[in-house]
Amino acid sequence: MFTKRTFIQHLGVIALASATLALPCWSQQTAAPLQVDLSPAQAGRVRVGKVASAAALIPRGYPFVTPGKLTVASIPNRLPYAVYASDSKTPIGAEPDVAQLLADSLGLELVLVPTVWADWPLGLSSGKYDAVIHNITITEERKEKFDFSSYRADLLGFYVPLGSKIQKISNPEDIAGLRVIVFSGTNQEKVLLNWIGQNKAKGLADTELQYHDDDAIRDLALQAGRADAYFGPNATSAFQAARERKTRQVGTFSGGWPENAEIGVATRKGTGLAPAITAAFNAQIQNGNYGKVLARWGLTAEAVAASRTNPPGLPKK
């Protein structure tokens, strides 16, 4: 969840950074640094050859936006998903890398089109893009309008200050008596409210929920001891933890808890492109290139064993 203020703050951080940032690895089990390249060239981006079996699944005469090219909508807003490179115009990040992996696999040239979140559904439906790749959770409601190829698990994570005595949050009882920061109206808030209800029925201590829609205020509350933990999207929290070394992860859960949630590439409904994308993912999962893409951005924990076309999505509310 982003406010205009936090979006500007993140752009400011990127603009002041050098072309390459040396960051610690996101894994809490290793101290090896993770190199995050902000240059438009992206020399370390994983490139692969064409997967003939996947490319053969593209419907004959498929109406790509531009023949021979895969036009993908990208939403530069924050890492690890996507931001603008140091040239302020080229989208880079985990999702552009995934787009490159697909384009290479299908024997197509990649064209990234920057857009904003609110505009991607209409842009895809109207044929402005061939696909949209930006942390889109697969839901039954979205499947009515679009096809999906899953490629990442949708995870939420609990994060605490480095010096916190909290070592693990794995069930409702673990949040009893804690002060937890969460964004209002999110699925993670729904999870916490559910858990609080369960704990209340067991006579356990109440949990205080704190609502901060600004990252800086949230971070200050944690570091000042006014809150015990933050519960939000795991990938962005992991990136911040690695960059600043002020917080650590103590638990992860499916973004659709108790339902399983997956992230998928969105394509136009019924056009037949999704099976080719799914096959491309599965080929790259099997040969290890998919894992390299996720590892480059610290998203190994969100890897899937196999891609699926239109898997069960989160149910309608």
Instruction: Judge whether 269 lies within some domain.
Output: yes
Instruction: Judge whether 26 lies within some domain.
Output: no
- Residues 95 and 195 reside in one and the same domain: no
Give the pLDDT confidence score for residue 27 in this predicted structure.
42
Amino acid at 126: S
CATH of the domain at 207: 3.40.190.10
Give the pLDDT confidence score for residue 307 in this predicted structure.
98
CB atoms inside a 10 Å sphere around CB 30: 10
Q: Which of 215, 237, 254 is the last residue of a domain?
A: 254
Instruction: Judge whether 317 lies within some domain.
Output: no
Element (H, E) at 238: helix 234-244
Residue 311 has pLDDT above 70, yes or no: yes
Residue with tokens 């399983």: 260
DSSP string of 256-286, one letter each residue: BTTB--EEEEEEETTSSHHHHHHHHHHHHHH
- Residues 124 and 11 reside in one and the same domain: yes
Give the pLDDT confidence score for residue 9 in this predicted structure.
36
- Residues 212 and 226 reside in one and the same domain: yes
Instruction: Judge whether 146 lies within some domain.
Output: yes
pLDDT, tens digit, for every residue of 84-137?
999 999 999 999 999 999 999 999 999 999 999 999 999 999 999 999 999 999
Gap between the Cα atoms of 104 and 47, Å rounded: 7
- Residues 284 and 138 reside in one and the same domain: yes
- Residues 146 and 163 reside in one and the same domain: no
Owning domain of residue 159: 155-254
- Residues 68 and 144 reside in one and the same domain: yes
Gap between the Cα atoms of 148 and 134, Å rounded: 12
- Residues 46 and 90 reside in one and the same domain: yes
Give the pLDDT confidence score for residue 25 in this predicted structure.
37
Instruction: Judge whether 166 lies within some domain.
Output: yes
The DSSP letter of residue 314 is: B
Instruction: Judge whether 1 lies within some domain.
Output: no
pLDDT, tens digit, for every residue of 18-41?
333 333 333 444 444 567 899 999
Q: What is the mean pLDDT of residues 283-303?
A: 93
- Residues 48 and 145 reside in one and the same domain: yes
- Residues 137 and 283 reside in one and the same domain: yes
Instruction: Judge whether 311 lies within some domain.
Output: no
Give the pLDDT confidence score for residue 317 in this predicted structure.
74
Q: How far is CA 133 from CA 41, 48, 120, 151, 248, in A?
A: 20, 18, 10, 10, 28
User: Residue 208 has which token pair?
Assistant: 């205080």
Residue 281 has pLDDT above 80, yes or no: yes
**Domains: count for the chain:** 2
Gap between the Cα atoms of 158 and 227, Å rounded: 12
What's the pTM?
A: 0.83
- Residues 121 and 46 reside in one and the same domain: yes
DSSP string of 141-199, one letter each residue: HHHTTEEEEEEEE-EEEEEEETT-S-----SGGGGTT-EEE--TTSHHHHHHHHHHHHH
- Residues 73 and 143 reside in one and the same domain: yes
- Residues 134 and 267 reside in one and the same domain: yes
Instruction: Judge whether 52 lies within some domain.
Output: yes
Q: Are residues 259 and 289 in contact, defined by beta-carbon separation less than 8 angstroms?
A: no
